[in-house]
Structure 1
Amino acid sequence: MGEHLLTGAGSGIGAALAGLLAGRGHRLWLLARDPSRAEELAARHPGCRTVVADLAEPDRLAERLGAQGLPDRLDSLLHVAGVADAAPVAEAGAAGWQRTLAVNLTAPAELTRLLLPALRATRGRVVFVNSGAGVHAPPRLGAYAASKFGLKALAETLRAEEYAHGVRVTTVYPGETDTPMQERLHAQFGLAYDAAAHMSPATVAAAVVTALELPGDATVSDLTLRPGH
């Protein structure tokens, strides 16, 4: 039984991952962006710990989380939360870029920094749920793709720097997954949405847990998932 801190547990892949880990008896710390969401998560996962902080304000994470208390030992830090909005570069304003980069890149970097002592104490794992857009940048998703390319770089740097401390780093690149974000992006692109054509969040969650449960003499550095139909 391990101890894990998870972002994005409110819906999609994060919700599936939290449910899977809780069902296996793991102890969860769930990050919520506001108190009402924290109450929802606590009701959904009895026995979990919740902490409140807004990933859109990464410069306040240390203050907010420090006041609430963080674990001294952590088996994994699971970065699942993310935002995405479709807009061509010619129309995307600075505010949209700043919010996307804050939530998808700067906040994971800062949260990782804050929790590295707890991860080093257990020779734990950091998992970044990236995206296919972190490998191939599509049109109209410039800010999102840039944030995910940056997340890939963060993971590679962290892996090299933390090797001596035994902290292992995994990046998961899911293709199209049946999540509220995916449905919203289809609407923004004017595309019909067929949930059956996408992977289930539970499938991605199962892949993440497989990487977490790998014996300590190896690590999954990069894992790419694509719909099988």
Structure 2
Amino acid sequence: MRPTALITGASRGLGSAIARELAAGHNLLLGARKEDALKEILTEIEDAKPFPADLTDHAAVAEAVKGIDRLDVLVHNAGVADLGTVADTPAEVWRNTMEANVIAVAELTRLLLPALRKAGGHVVLINSGAGLRANAGWGPYAASKFALRAFGDALRLEEPKIRVTSIHPGRIATDMQRAIVEGEGGTFDADQFLSPETVARAVHAAIDTAPDGHPTEIVLRPTAR
């Protein structure tokens, strides 16, 4: 029986790259807020199924997971990156960032724990270099990623039959990164960043680690060019 993987934020960027990377060996559930956003990737991966839900709407998420009684892989890729200095960032941005990047992850994981336990599953958290070091102007995002790392550490200890891997990539050449660079006043150059495919292969390698190994953290940085 082919393993089943649920990937959040799968409509574009890193999420769709992870979907392509895992497609050959997994039955895929691909997450996005709206099913329409998944049209392109679902056309490309014909046997994949949509998992449409606003992950910050906990009632909707509880409804969406009904019927998932076994899950081998859960990849938490969805998230937001609202940047700004502490002086210029209001409470709403902090709250929304934590809601999307931490609380939504915790709740979806909690709801799917019975299915993950049944499969002896694997939770992959797409974190960030910002989850290891906070830089000026990145306070809310870094705080959420530090919290996400703590969540993964706690989950790993509480659920010894489930593997939990935190992936900490440097900047990735995605549309989100383009917006960040332009917001910083820079010029986007994809060659200066990790490709989504490189990070997706790291996710696949973690999942394919032999059962006697537990890949707890993977840190990736762009190669100096």
- TM-score category of the 2 structures, normalised to the smaller one: over 0.9
2:82 counterpart (72, 77, 85):
85
Q: Deviations over 1:116-147 (max 9, x none)?
A: 11110111100001000001011111111111
Contact 1:5 1:77 in 2 (8 A): yes
Distance apart, 1:62 and its partner CA = 4.1
Matched, 1:102 2:103: no
Distance apart, 1:51 and its partner CA = 1.8
Contact 1:55 1:102 in 2 (8 A): no
Which segment drifts farther, 186-195 or 206-215? 186-195
Q: Deviations over 1:32-89 (max 9, x none)?
A: 20132244443232111212211233x33444315xx342111110001111022111
Matched, 1:188 2:187: no
Contact 2:11 2:31 in 1 (8 A): no
Identical amino acids, percent of aligned pairs: 43
Equivalent residue for 1:43? 43
TM-score by length of 2: 0.94
Equivalent residue for 1:219? 214
Contact 1:53 1:64 in 2 (8 A): no
Poorly superposed stretches of 4+, deviation over 3 Å: 38-41, 61-64
Matched residue type, 2:138: L
In structure 2, what is the Cα distance between the partners aligned to 1:96 and 1:220?
32
TM-score by length of 1: 0.93
1:159 counterpart (136, 156, 159):
156
Equivalent residue for 1:75? 72
In structure 1, what is the Cα distance between the partners aligned to 2:207 and 2:215?
9
Contact 1:169 1:221 in 2 (8 A): yes
5+ long unaligned stretches in structure 2: none
3-state SS, counterpart of residue 110 of structure 1? helix
1:199 counterpart (194, 198, 201):
194
Within 5 Å, give how 1:6-45 maps onto structure 2: 6-22=7-23, 24-45=24-45
3-state SS, counterpart of residue 159 of structure 2? helix
5+ long unaligned stretches in structure 1: none
Root-mean-square deviation (Å): 1.4
